């Protein structure tokens, strides 16, 4: 296929044979038809490649990695020919009018760089997701915001835009790219870069179906690898905020930044660092802020002015690094102390149980001796011979007792 098209759809595929047909056919069933579908399979080990090759539609261009490589959206962009680019995943699906409504919106709003949609979260069987306590249940139901408001939201709350819902102008990729080394939040990192210079829009209709599986085996799943790498990737994404070029722009994103500005000296990176430390609610955000202040402290000219106009010096920085436990050292120590107390209590209980077991053993030994003694008397001939005499003695004892009473 060599003809120019309006939309290039990049569908990334990896081991989703169960859902792949639904993903592909939700594209083929679009009411908007001027597109190419670029499917990039990442060396799937299931039947995905066979399913892809079963389609003969001339709009489909299929590629396959020999080994698992990730980063296939960037590879798809290298061959994409469309004016607009849509991202699709092999376990998600679209409503039939998604592209039609998004293309129409971008055509009518040339100042908007990308358009998203609201999302219907679905389960493994394609039914509406019902776990209201799950992160994904309502996270994508966002209102529209200016790019400044989005940058503020991203800074404090993280991502809330659904990757397979986006339609973006291809020209945006000249200034923004997916960075290598980010697995979990490469799209979030992209949105921050995009909003630094562009406005976006969300169509308030559920035109994308985003699948959450029980095992959460997708990239955004809540498993150990993502929990460990997430804070690092979030920290790297925040570094884009250093590109904010003026104090005016910084205060449009963070109106509260004015408290860190002096009329005689304005240092936007210092203000951003103090914001991150004082108002950030994630360890990665606070660490980002400490790094910014560390850089300011080691820039002699800036350090002198910050000390003069903001009262910021090494002592203040030392206090901030002690107050902000970004690596959860204190929490870990508290947990260790709790474990030590638990172990001590268990040791005491074990000692008490050992003493009880010893007492039971002694009682059992005494009981055994008594049983032997009873058995001796029960089988003793002398005991049997003297039984009549004992009866007579007991008779007289009872008689005397009655008489005395």
Summarize pLDDT for 350-395 with one digit per residue, the tens: 999 999 999 999 989 988 888 887 777 666 666 555 666 666 667 6
Instruction: Examine the fold and report which residue of 311, 329, 347 is the final residue of a domain before the chain moves on.
Output: 329
Element holding 194 (H helix, E strand):
helix 186-195
Domain assignment present for 367? no
Residues 225 and 90 occupy one common structural domain: yes
Beta-strand relationship, 93-94 and 112-122: unpaired
Structure-block tokens of residue 97: 């009018």
Residues 13 and 45 occupy one common structural domain: yes
pLDDT band at residue 20, thresholds of 50, 70 and 90?
Answer: very high
Domain of 215? 7-238
Domain assignment present for 355? no
Helical residues (DSSP H) of 218-299, grouped into ranges: 224-238, 247-253, 268-279, 283-297
Domain assignment present for 2? no
The total domain count for the chain is: 2
Mean pLDDT for 131-157 is: 95
CB of 37 closer than 8 Å to CB of 75: no
pLDDT digits (tens, 9 = 90+) for 277-331: 999 999 999 999 999 999 999 999 999 999 999 999 999 999 999 999 888 876 6
Domain assignment present for 390? no
Q: Rounded to an integer, what distance in angstroms lies between the CA atom of residue 310 and that of residue 182?
A: 36
Domain assignment present for 94? yes
Domain assignment present for 404? no
Residues 75 and 31 occupy one common structural domain: yes
Residues 229 and 294 occupy one common structural domain: no
Instruction: Examine the fold and report which residue of 189, 219, 238 is the final residue of a domain before the chain moves on.
Output: 238
Domain assignment present for 51? yes
Average pLDDT score over the chain: 91
Element holding 106 (H helix, E strand):
helix 98-108
Residues 42 and 109 occupy one common structural domain: yes
Considering only CA atoms, which of 154, 151, 13, 2 is closest in space to residue 76?
13
pLDDT of residue 335: 75
Work out the percent of the chain whose per-residue pLDDT is above 90.
72
Integer-rounded Cα radius of gyration of the chain: 37
Residues 79 and 178 occupy one common structural domain: yes
Domain assignment present for 126? yes
Give the count of alpha carbons within 13 A of 115, CB side only: 20
Q: Higher pLDDT residue, 372 or 271?
A: 271
Instruction: List the CATH number of the domain containing 89.
Output: 3.90.550.10
pLDDT digits (tens, 9 = 90+) for 221-254: 567 888 899 999 999 999 999 999 999 999 999 9
Instruction: Examine the fold and report which residue of 238, 271, 298 is the final residue of a domain before the chain moves on.
Output: 238
């Amino acid at each position: 296929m060599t003809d120019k098209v309006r939309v290039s759809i990049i569908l990334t595929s990896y081991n989703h044979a169960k859902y792949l047909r639904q993903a592909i056919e939700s594209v083929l069933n679009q009411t908007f038809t001027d597109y190419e579908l670029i499917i990039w399979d990442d060396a799937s080990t299931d039947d995905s490649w066979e399913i892809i090759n079963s389609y003969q539609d001339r709009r489909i261009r299929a590629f396959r990695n020999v080994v698992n490589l990730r980063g296939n959206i960037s590879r798809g962009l290298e061959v994409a020919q469309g004016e607009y680019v849509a991202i699709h995943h092999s376990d998600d699906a679209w409503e039939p009018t998604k592209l039609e409504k998004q293309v129409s919106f971008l055509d009518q709003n040339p100042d908007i760089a990308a358009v998203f949609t609201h999302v219907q979260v679905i389960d493994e069987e394609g039914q509406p997701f019902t776990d209201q306590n799950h992160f994904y249940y309502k996270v994508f139901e966002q209102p529209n915001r200016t790019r400044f408001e989005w940058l503020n939201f991203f800074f404090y709350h993280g991502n809330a835009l659904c990757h397979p819902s986006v339609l973006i102008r291809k020209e945006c990729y000249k200034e923004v790219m997916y960075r290598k080394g980010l697995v979990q939040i490469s799209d979030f990192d992209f949105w921050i870069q995009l909003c630094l210079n562009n406005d976006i829009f969300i169509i308030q209709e559920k035109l994308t179906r985003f699948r959450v599986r029980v095992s959460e085996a997708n990239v955004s799943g809540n498993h150990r690898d993502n929990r460990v790498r997430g804070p690092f990737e979030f920290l790297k994404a925040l570094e884009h905020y250093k590109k904010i070029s003026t104090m005016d722009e910084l205060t449009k994103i963070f109106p509260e930044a004015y408290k860190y500005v002096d009329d005689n000296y304005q240092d936007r990176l210092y203000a951003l660092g103090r914001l991150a430390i004082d108002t950030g609610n994630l360890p990665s955000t606070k660490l980002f802020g400490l790094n910014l202040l560390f850089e300011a402290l080691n820039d002699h000219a800036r350090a002198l002015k910050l000390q003069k106009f903001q009262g910021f010096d090494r002592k203040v920085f030392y206090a901030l690094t002690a107050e902000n436990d970004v690596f959860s050292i204190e929490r870990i120590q508290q947990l260790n102390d709790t474990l030590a107390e638990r172990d001590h209590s268990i040791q005491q209980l074990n000692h008490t149980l050992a003493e009880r077991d010893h007492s039971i053993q002694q009682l059992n030994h005494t009981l055994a001796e008594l049983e032997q003694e009873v058995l001796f008397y029960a089988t003793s001939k002398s005991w049997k011979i003297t039984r009549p005499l004992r009866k007579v003695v007991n008779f007289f004892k009872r008689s005397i007792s009655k008489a005395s009473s």
